[in-house]
Amino acid sequence: MNQKPDNRPATLRRLVHVGLAAVVYFAWFGGLVGLRPEHFALFFACSGAYLLSDTTREWLFAFAGLAVFWMVYDSLRICPNYKVNPVHIAEPYLFDKQWFGLNTEAGRITLNEYFAARTSTLMDIITAAFYISWVPLPMLFGVWLFTKNRPLFIRFTYGYLCTNLVGFALYYLYPAAPPWYVELNGFVFNPDTARSAAGLDNFDKLINAPLFKTIYQRNSNVFAAIPSLHSAYPLVTLFYARQMPQRWPTALFVFLTLGIWFSAIYLRHHYVIDVILGALTAVAGYFLAERLNRVINE
Protein backbone atom coordinates (compact mmCIF):
# COMPACT_ATOMS: atom_id res chain seq x y z
CA MET A 1 0.00 0.00 0.00
CA ASN A 2 1.43 3.37 -1.09
CA GLN A 3 1.91 5.92 1.61
CA LYS A 4 1.55 9.64 0.98
CA PRO A 5 4.84 11.56 1.39
CA ASP A 6 5.22 13.37 4.67
CA ASN A 7 5.23 17.09 3.79
CA ARG A 8 5.33 18.27 7.37
CA PRO A 9 9.11 19.00 7.47
CA ALA A 10 8.89 21.14 4.32
CA THR A 11 5.84 22.96 5.66
CA LEU A 12 7.60 23.58 8.96
CA ARG A 13 10.64 25.01 7.14
CA ARG A 14 8.42 27.36 5.16
CA LEU A 15 6.67 28.51 8.33
CA VAL A 16 10.07 29.26 9.85
CA HIS A 17 11.02 31.19 6.70
CA VAL A 18 7.83 33.23 6.94
CA GLY A 19 8.43 33.90 10.63
CA LEU A 20 11.97 35.13 10.02
CA ALA A 21 10.82 37.24 7.08
CA ALA A 22 8.10 38.77 9.28
CA VAL A 23 10.65 39.81 11.92
CA VAL A 24 12.90 41.50 9.36
CA TYR A 25 10.07 42.99 7.27
CA PHE A 26 8.08 44.51 10.13
CA ALA A 27 11.21 45.68 11.96
CA TRP A 28 12.25 47.52 8.79
CA PHE A 29 8.91 49.06 7.85
CA GLY A 30 7.63 49.44 11.40
CA GLY A 31 10.86 50.80 12.87
CA LEU A 32 12.21 52.89 10.00
CA VAL A 33 9.72 53.51 7.20
CA GLY A 34 6.39 53.60 9.02
CA LEU A 35 3.77 50.86 8.72
CA ARG A 36 0.72 51.41 6.55
CA PRO A 37 -2.10 49.06 5.49
CA GLU A 38 -0.42 48.25 2.16
CA HIS A 39 2.61 46.85 4.02
CA PHE A 40 0.41 44.28 5.72
CA ALA A 41 -1.36 43.51 2.41
CA LEU A 42 1.94 42.85 0.62
CA PHE A 43 3.36 40.69 3.39
CA PHE A 44 0.30 38.50 3.82
CA ALA A 45 -0.18 38.15 0.06
CA CYS A 46 3.43 37.03 -0.39
CA SER A 47 3.34 34.77 2.68
CA GLY A 48 0.13 33.15 1.53
CA ALA A 49 1.56 32.52 -1.92
CA TYR A 50 4.71 31.03 -0.40
CA LEU A 51 2.82 28.67 1.86
CA LEU A 52 -0.13 27.69 -0.30
CA SER A 53 1.25 25.50 -3.11
CA ASP A 54 4.06 24.91 -5.55
CA THR A 55 2.16 26.86 -8.21
CA THR A 56 1.67 29.96 -6.05
CA ARG A 57 5.33 29.80 -4.96
CA GLU A 58 6.33 29.77 -8.61
CA TRP A 59 4.27 32.91 -9.21
CA LEU A 60 5.72 34.54 -6.12
CA PHE A 61 9.33 33.96 -7.15
CA ALA A 62 8.58 35.10 -10.69
CA PHE A 63 7.11 38.41 -9.51
CA ALA A 64 9.62 38.91 -6.67
CA GLY A 65 11.52 41.59 -8.60
CA LEU A 66 8.41 43.77 -8.72
CA ALA A 67 7.84 43.37 -4.98
CA VAL A 68 11.47 44.38 -4.37
CA PHE A 69 10.94 47.48 -6.51
CA TRP A 70 7.95 48.59 -4.41
CA MET A 71 9.76 47.99 -1.13
CA VAL A 72 12.85 49.91 -2.27
CA TYR A 73 10.72 52.81 -3.51
CA ASP A 74 8.74 53.00 -0.29
CA SER A 75 11.96 52.85 1.73
CA LEU A 76 13.18 56.08 0.12
CA ARG A 77 11.15 57.79 2.86
CA ILE A 78 13.93 56.96 5.33
CA CYS A 79 16.32 59.46 3.77
CA PRO A 80 14.61 61.90 1.38
CA ASN A 81 16.73 62.98 -1.55
CA TYR A 82 16.59 66.66 -0.56
CA LYS A 83 18.73 65.76 2.47
CA VAL A 84 21.43 64.36 0.17
CA ASN A 85 21.67 67.00 -2.57
CA PRO A 86 20.20 70.48 -3.17
CA VAL A 87 16.76 70.56 -4.78
CA HIS A 88 16.58 72.06 -8.27
CA ILE A 89 13.44 74.14 -8.60
CA ALA A 90 14.12 77.00 -10.99
CA GLU A 91 16.55 75.20 -13.31
CA PRO A 92 14.11 72.63 -14.82
CA TYR A 93 11.43 75.30 -15.18
CA LEU A 94 13.71 77.78 -16.93
CA PHE A 95 15.26 75.09 -19.12
CA ASP A 96 11.84 73.89 -20.26
CA LYS A 97 10.65 77.43 -20.90
CA GLN A 98 13.71 78.18 -23.05
CA TRP A 99 13.89 74.94 -25.06
CA PHE A 100 10.30 73.70 -25.19
CA GLY A 101 8.22 76.76 -24.29
CA LEU A 102 5.79 78.81 -26.36
CA ASN A 103 5.73 82.52 -27.08
CA THR A 104 2.50 84.25 -26.08
CA GLU A 105 1.36 87.85 -25.77
CA ALA A 106 2.15 87.66 -22.05
CA GLY A 107 5.63 86.30 -22.71
CA ARG A 108 7.24 82.90 -23.05
CA ILE A 109 5.58 80.11 -21.06
CA THR A 110 6.16 76.39 -20.51
CA LEU A 111 3.91 73.78 -22.08
CA ASN A 112 2.63 73.04 -18.57
CA GLU A 113 1.47 76.64 -18.21
CA TYR A 114 -0.04 76.56 -21.69
CA PHE A 115 -2.17 73.50 -20.91
CA ALA A 116 -3.06 74.75 -17.42
CA ALA A 117 -4.92 77.64 -19.08
CA ARG A 118 -6.61 75.34 -21.61
CA THR A 119 -8.02 72.39 -19.71
CA SER A 120 -11.18 70.61 -20.79
CA THR A 121 -13.37 67.95 -19.25
CA LEU A 122 -12.62 65.53 -22.07
CA MET A 123 -8.85 65.95 -21.74
CA ASP A 124 -9.09 65.69 -17.94
CA ILE A 125 -10.77 62.29 -18.31
CA ILE A 126 -8.42 61.02 -21.03
CA THR A 127 -5.23 62.04 -19.25
CA ALA A 128 -6.45 60.67 -15.92
CA ALA A 129 -7.14 57.32 -17.60
CA PHE A 130 -3.63 57.26 -19.07
CA TYR A 131 -2.00 58.31 -15.82
CA ILE A 132 -3.67 55.74 -13.61
CA SER A 133 -2.69 52.96 -16.03
CA TRP A 134 1.06 53.48 -15.69
CA VAL A 135 1.53 50.51 -13.32
CA PRO A 136 -1.58 48.28 -13.78
CA LEU A 137 -1.19 47.77 -17.54
CA PRO A 138 2.52 46.83 -17.41
CA MET A 139 1.69 44.47 -14.52
CA LEU A 140 -1.17 42.87 -16.45
CA PHE A 141 1.17 42.52 -19.42
CA GLY A 142 3.61 40.79 -17.05
CA VAL A 143 0.94 38.30 -15.96
CA TRP A 144 0.09 37.58 -19.59
CA LEU A 145 3.78 37.27 -20.47
CA PHE A 146 4.29 34.86 -17.58
CA THR A 147 1.78 32.49 -19.15
CA LYS A 148 3.13 32.86 -22.71
CA ASN A 149 6.90 33.22 -22.48
CA ARG A 150 8.42 32.56 -19.05
CA PRO A 151 12.07 33.41 -19.97
CA LEU A 152 11.04 36.72 -21.53
CA PHE A 153 8.90 37.46 -18.47
CA ILE A 154 11.92 37.04 -16.18
CA ARG A 155 13.90 39.41 -18.37
CA PHE A 156 10.98 41.85 -18.25
CA THR A 157 10.87 41.89 -14.45
CA TYR A 158 14.60 42.58 -14.26
CA GLY A 159 14.31 45.26 -16.92
CA TYR A 160 11.57 46.87 -14.85
CA LEU A 161 13.66 46.60 -11.66
CA CYS A 162 16.82 47.99 -13.29
CA THR A 163 14.86 50.92 -14.74
CA ASN A 164 13.63 51.77 -11.27
CA LEU A 165 17.06 51.48 -9.68
CA VAL A 166 18.54 53.82 -12.31
CA GLY A 167 15.65 56.23 -11.71
CA PHE A 168 16.06 56.13 -7.93
CA ALA A 169 19.78 56.85 -8.26
CA LEU A 170 19.00 59.90 -10.39
CA TYR A 171 16.46 61.08 -7.81
CA TYR A 172 19.29 61.39 -5.32
CA LEU A 173 21.86 62.79 -7.73
CA TYR A 174 19.52 65.51 -8.99
CA PRO A 175 16.49 66.22 -6.77
CA ALA A 176 14.02 68.24 -8.81
CA ALA A 177 10.64 69.85 -8.18
CA PRO A 178 7.68 69.18 -10.50
CA PRO A 179 5.80 71.96 -12.33
CA TRP A 180 2.92 72.01 -9.86
CA TYR A 181 5.39 72.77 -7.07
CA VAL A 182 6.45 75.99 -8.81
CA GLU A 183 2.77 76.93 -9.22
CA LEU A 184 2.22 76.64 -5.45
CA ASN A 185 5.56 77.75 -4.01
CA GLY A 186 7.48 79.60 -6.69
CA PHE A 187 11.20 78.92 -6.50
CA VAL A 188 11.29 78.75 -2.69
CA PHE A 189 12.36 75.43 -1.20
CA ASN A 190 9.82 74.01 1.24
CA PRO A 191 10.49 70.40 2.31
CA ASP A 192 7.14 70.25 4.11
CA THR A 193 5.02 71.19 1.11
CA ALA A 194 1.84 69.15 0.81
CA ARG A 195 1.69 66.48 -1.90
CA SER A 196 -0.49 67.50 -4.83
CA ALA A 197 -2.33 65.66 -7.58
CA ALA A 198 -2.07 68.85 -9.68
CA GLY A 199 -4.17 68.57 -12.86
CA LEU A 200 -5.64 65.30 -11.64
CA ASP A 201 -7.64 67.29 -9.08
CA ASN A 202 -9.97 68.15 -11.97
CA PHE A 203 -10.81 64.47 -12.41
CA ASP A 204 -11.41 64.07 -8.67
CA LYS A 205 -13.90 66.92 -8.88
CA LEU A 206 -15.65 65.28 -11.82
CA ILE A 207 -16.22 62.02 -9.93
CA ASN A 208 -16.71 63.80 -6.59
CA ALA A 209 -14.17 61.53 -4.89
CA PRO A 210 -10.53 62.06 -3.79
CA LEU A 211 -9.13 59.22 -5.94
CA PHE A 212 -5.89 60.83 -7.09
CA LYS A 213 -5.60 63.02 -4.03
CA THR A 214 -5.45 59.87 -1.88
CA ILE A 215 -2.87 58.29 -4.18
CA TYR A 216 -0.56 61.29 -4.23
CA GLN A 217 -0.79 61.92 -0.51
CA ARG A 218 1.11 58.62 -0.19
CA ASN A 219 3.87 59.81 -2.50
CA SER A 220 7.21 59.14 -0.80
CA ASN A 221 9.00 62.17 -2.29
CA VAL A 222 7.86 65.46 -3.77
CA PHE A 223 11.26 66.24 -5.30
CA ALA A 224 11.50 63.26 -7.64
CA ALA A 225 10.41 64.76 -10.94
CA ILE A 226 13.65 63.85 -12.74
CA PRO A 227 13.50 61.36 -14.29
CA SER A 228 9.82 60.74 -14.94
CA LEU A 229 9.30 57.07 -14.12
CA HIS A 230 5.72 57.52 -15.30
CA SER A 231 7.31 57.99 -18.71
CA ALA A 232 9.82 55.18 -18.29
CA TYR A 233 7.49 52.31 -17.34
CA PRO A 234 5.40 52.03 -20.52
CA LEU A 235 8.51 52.42 -22.68
CA VAL A 236 10.51 49.67 -20.99
CA THR A 237 7.39 47.49 -21.24
CA LEU A 238 7.24 48.28 -24.96
CA PHE A 239 10.81 47.03 -25.41
CA TYR A 240 9.70 43.59 -24.21
CA ALA A 241 6.24 43.67 -25.82
CA ARG A 242 7.78 44.05 -29.27
CA GLN A 243 9.65 40.75 -28.78
CA MET A 244 6.37 38.83 -28.78
CA PRO A 245 4.98 37.49 -32.08
CA GLN A 246 1.58 39.08 -31.39
CA ARG A 247 1.29 42.65 -32.67
CA TRP A 248 -1.29 43.96 -30.23
CA PRO A 249 1.09 44.31 -27.21
CA THR A 250 3.40 46.53 -29.25
CA ALA A 251 0.52 48.66 -30.53
CA LEU A 252 -0.95 48.93 -27.04
CA PHE A 253 2.26 50.12 -25.41
CA VAL A 254 3.16 52.54 -28.20
CA PHE A 255 -0.26 54.10 -27.62
CA LEU A 256 0.14 54.00 -23.83
CA THR A 257 3.65 55.46 -23.92
CA LEU A 258 2.65 58.45 -26.06
CA GLY A 259 -0.50 58.99 -24.00
CA ILE A 260 1.34 58.98 -20.69
CA TRP A 261 4.07 61.29 -22.01
CA PHE A 262 1.46 63.84 -23.09
CA SER A 263 -0.53 63.41 -19.87
CA ALA A 264 2.54 64.01 -17.69
CA ILE A 265 2.90 67.45 -19.25
CA TYR A 266 -0.80 68.29 -19.50
CA LEU A 267 -1.38 67.38 -15.84
CA ARG A 268 1.65 69.45 -14.74
CA HIS A 269 3.40 66.55 -13.07
CA HIS A 270 6.45 66.75 -15.31
CA TYR A 271 8.31 69.07 -17.64
CA VAL A 272 9.25 67.96 -21.14
CA ILE A 273 12.86 67.43 -20.01
CA ASP A 274 11.60 65.10 -17.23
CA VAL A 275 9.81 62.99 -19.84
CA ILE A 276 12.87 62.84 -22.09
CA LEU A 277 15.09 61.79 -19.20
CA GLY A 278 12.45 59.24 -18.16
CA ALA A 279 12.63 57.71 -21.63
CA LEU A 280 16.44 57.60 -21.43
CA THR A 281 16.15 55.94 -18.03
CA ALA A 282 14.00 53.21 -19.59
CA VAL A 283 16.64 52.70 -22.29
CA ALA A 284 19.41 52.51 -19.67
CA GLY A 285 17.44 50.11 -17.47
CA TYR A 286 16.62 47.87 -20.42
CA PHE A 287 20.21 47.61 -21.64
CA LEU A 288 21.52 47.12 -18.10
CA ALA A 289 19.08 44.26 -17.48
CA GLU A 290 19.81 42.66 -20.84
CA ARG A 291 23.55 42.91 -20.21
CA LEU A 292 23.16 41.26 -16.81
CA ASN A 293 21.05 38.53 -18.39
CA ARG A 294 23.78 37.78 -20.93
CA VAL A 295 26.45 37.70 -18.25
CA ILE A 296 24.40 35.30 -16.11
CA ASN A 297 23.74 32.99 -19.04
CA GLU A 298 27.29 32.92 -20.39
Q: Is the dihedral of CA 53, 59, 64, 70 positive or negative?
A: negative
C-alpha to C-alpha distance for 234 and 224, rounded to whole angstroms: 18
pLDDT per residue over 257-283, tens digit each? 999 999 999 999 999 999 999 999 999
At residue 2, the pLDDT reads 54
HEC profile of 53-122 = CHHHHHHHHHCHHHHHHHHHHHHHHHCCHHHCCCCECHHHHHHHHHHHCEEECCEEECHHHHHHCCCCHH
The 3-state DSSP class for residue 7 equals coil
**Listed residue (229, 262, 222) closest to 69, CA to CA:** 229
Tally of CB atoms within 10 A around 70: 14
Exposed e or buried b for every residue in 112-140, given b needs 16+ CB within 10 A?
Answer: bbebbeeeeeebbebbbebbbbbeebbee
- Show Cβ contacts of residue 216 under 8 Å, excluding neighbours closer than 6 positions: 195, 196, 197, 200
Residue pair 193/185 in contact by the 8 Å Cβ criterion: yes
| Bridge partners, residue 118, by sequence | none
Tell me the average pLDDT across 217-243: 93
pLDDT of the residue at 164: 93
pLDDT confidence band for 194 (50 / 70 / 90): confident
pLDDT tens-digit readout, 119-133 = 999 999 999 999 999
Residues 6+ apart with CB under 8 A from 3: none
**Hey, what's the torsion of the CAs at 208, 211, 214, 219, to 10 degrees?**
-140
Mean pLDDT of the chain: 93
| CB atoms inside a 10 Å sphere around CB 178 | 26
Amino acid at 60: L
- What's the pTM value of the predicted model, to 2 decimals? 0.90
How high is the pLDDT of residue 1? 47
